[in-house]
Chains A and B, each alone.
Chain A
Amino acid sequence: MFLYYVDLAWRSIRKTPFLSLLMVLAISIGIGITITTLNVYKMMSFNPAGERSTQIHSVQLWSQGPDSWDEFDVNRTYQDVINLRSANLAQRQAAAFRTGMALQSDDESIAPVLQSIRVTDSDFFGIFSVPFLYGSAWEASVDTEPAYQVVIGEKLNRTFFKGENSVGRTVYLNRKPYQVVGVIKEWNPQPKYYDPTNGAFNDAEEIFVPFSLTPIEEFEVWGNTNGWKFEPMLTYNDRLISEKAWIQYWVELQGKEQIDAYSDYLAGYVEQQQALGRFTDPKQPRDKQRLVDIAAWLAQNNVVAEDNKVLVGLSVLFLSVCLVNILGLLLTKFLKRAPEVGVRRAIGASRAQIFAQYMVEVGSIGLLGGVLGLLWAVGALQILSARFDIADGLTRLDLSMWLITPMIAISTAVIAGLYPAWVVCRTKPSVYLKSQ
């Protein structure tokens, strides 16, 4: 019977093309807007860490003094990072911040470019599951014994080394030679969860250098530096010994036991620092330290802005308005066909069969609306991409959206069609048989 109902649905749609077009348009516009906002929302709220989300933790300390802000800072001071690194208690651990330098290769035909660079430890690549095309991260020993080594991205490797295995080759950062030890496969987590404060939807860096070079090379900080008191910064060393927080500190911990053990260690560290006259904020909470996993970290950094949530709500509201309009149109269309329903009922159709017939019809209208809505959504995302400075990742229609859109559209149409179909299937056949 289903195919029969589909056949009847198409005949009905063709019979009233204008009314059908109005309904398809109403659904498609509602769906187009909803899917556009939902897509952006979904891409923003995606957790790229997946199953490892609960294993990767940002280490956060209430390290400020009096008259400071009332929340945990996402960054750590250099001196805290050095202390935590030297304890070396986590399964993996990595400090990280963003800098920028002029990049060159031996090939003089390639002009130097100012490049965004991540300064980090060797464990960073393991913590964030960075895939390697050639070579690997620098040895762990480089984290304590600085060496001019670098990991580069696949795209940069194509530009500088024509995609060949460049391990052992040299690139120049601010004219200093760095030896390539690894080339990572194209890797661009969206959102860029390891550093959302520097543009949650910016591309991942193409160059990674050892954190241990920081005091030697005095890397500039291309990111937030938070301070709660005035401290003169005349030299780079002033920054290193200051209470300014500018470095993220990540640890990988497996299971509750490791998390509890590391939390205890942090509590002890805080007490020790307080004894040394640091962390003096009287407003500090009971636990002055915390480990924030990736899901909580993304929320803490407001990766999905409130505006975006409101926008999703508004688009769903708009879809509801479309649904009410469709309901009215369907009621008109179906009641016009009540005499036909009367005939069908008289010659043996049950109410359930009539109901099913009309549900298939609204489902077909929904499907058409969904397909058109998908095109609207793709178009809208293209326009957003072209007119505004929005990351590519946000304006690409997610695969799941391609699949879910027809479902939403059909469900919307079916919800709108429930009442009209119910009304028409309750029609008393005898009323229409005489009057036809």
Chain B
Amino acid sequence: MLSMRNISKVFKTDLVETHALRDFNLEVNEGEFVAVTGPSGSGKTTFLNIAGMLEGFTHGEYLLDGVDVSNLSDNKSAAVRNEKIGFIFQGFNLIPDLNLAENVEVPLRYRGIKAAERRRRVEQALEQVGLGARMKHLPTQLSGGQQQRVAIARALAGEPRFLLADEPTGNLDSLMARQVMELLEKINQAGTTIVMVTHDPELARRAQRNIQIVDGQVCDFAASGLGQQQGLRQDQELTPLADLAADFAAKAKASA
């Protein structure tokens, strides 16, 4: 589904070069629920932006659904994002002037779907997140958890095969977070591949696979999904910092 090989991302200014990702390798299979964790500044969001084609990368190869998306034009990138990828953000990112139904239908508008079909999908998506009765409400009239559910409905309305979630529960209390997580699990069970960035080890444990990013690299080699396929040794890929992170991940697994 998603295959990143030797991806590097360097942010340059006049004074400094920041290597946000270096030789980043990751395979995500169709239908997987992958949690991505790591300390702040480790490159999680950069990875997610690249995975979501919101940002380019400096080196490497990125195949999405078997298609090399490294050098797509802006129009094609937008079309791929629109048709294949759904986004859920920590800050919900709903458009405040639009009501719930209008927010959810935005990606469908850009896909050129006809009004009747849009209406059907919007209703279905909002029903799915339990907000079918509040279609005409504005985002400001909802709680944080409800807003995040609308964001999930927006992502679902486009029927994406691949859902990217950046700290989807980061702004929610634990009850709301659990509800959102349950919703994501349900979506995954229905066949949608999910990659979720999170700081919360509890939530990460609920995913099928955990990826630890440290210093711009996948530090849990086995979790990257590449090692066995390519016959590489784990110690070739691990950095000293990655050792620490691997230890952290092991502890997290043990406590699960």
Contact = CB atoms under 8 A, between A and B. Distances in A.
B107 A434 contact: no
B149 interface: no
A344 B166 contact: no
Interface string B81-111: 1110011011111110100000000110111
A340 interface: yes
B182 to A, nearest CB: 23
B79 to A, nearest CB: 7
B74 to A, nearest CB: 5
A11 B89 CA distance: 25
B216 interface: no
Contacts of A4: 109
Given A346-B54, A353-B110, A434 B45 contact: yes
Q: Which 3 A-B pairs have the closest CB atoms?
A: A348-B82, A350-B78, A436-B91
A12 B95 CA distance: 12
Contacts of B79: 348, 350
Interface stretch (A123-131, A173-181, A241-249, A425-433): A425-433
Contacts of B94: 343
Contacts of A92: none
Interface in A414-436: 428-430, 433-436
Contacts of A343: 93-95, 106
A434 B88 CA distance: 11
A1 interface: yes
A436 B111 contact: no
A347 B154 contact: yes
Contact of A349 (B55, B78, B87, B93): B78
B82 A347 contact: yes
Interface of A: 1, 4, 11-12, 15, 339-340, 342-353, 428-430, 433-436
Interface in B15-33: none
Contact of A434 (B91, B110, B154): B91
B93 A348 contact: no
B55 A428 contact: yes
B43 interface: no
A1 B110 CA distance: 8
Contacts of B168: none
Interface centre among B83, B106, B110, B154 (most CB of A within 10 A): B110
B64 to A, nearest CB: 14
B52 A346 contact: yes
Contacts of A340: 95
B158 interface: yes
A11 B54 contact: no
A348 B55 CA distance: 14
Nearest to A425: B74
18 contacts: A4-B109, A15-B97, A340-B95, A342-B93, A345-B54, A346-B52, A347-B82, A347-B86, A347-B106, A347-B110, A347-B155, A348-B81, A348-B110, A350-B78, A351-B78, A352-B74, A433-B87, A436-B89
B97 A11 contact: yes
Contacts of A345: 54, 78
Contacts of A11: 97
A433 to B, nearest CB: 5
Interface centre among A4, A350, A351, A436 (most CB of B within 10 A): A350
A379 B77 CA distance: 51
A343 B75 CA distance: 16
A344 B78 CA distance: 10
Contacts of A346: 52, 54, 81, 87, 93
B49 A430 contact: yes
Nearest to A348: B82
Given A349-B78, A435-B91, 7 more contacts: A11-B97, A347-B107, A350-B78, A428-B54, A430-B54, A434-B90, A436-B92
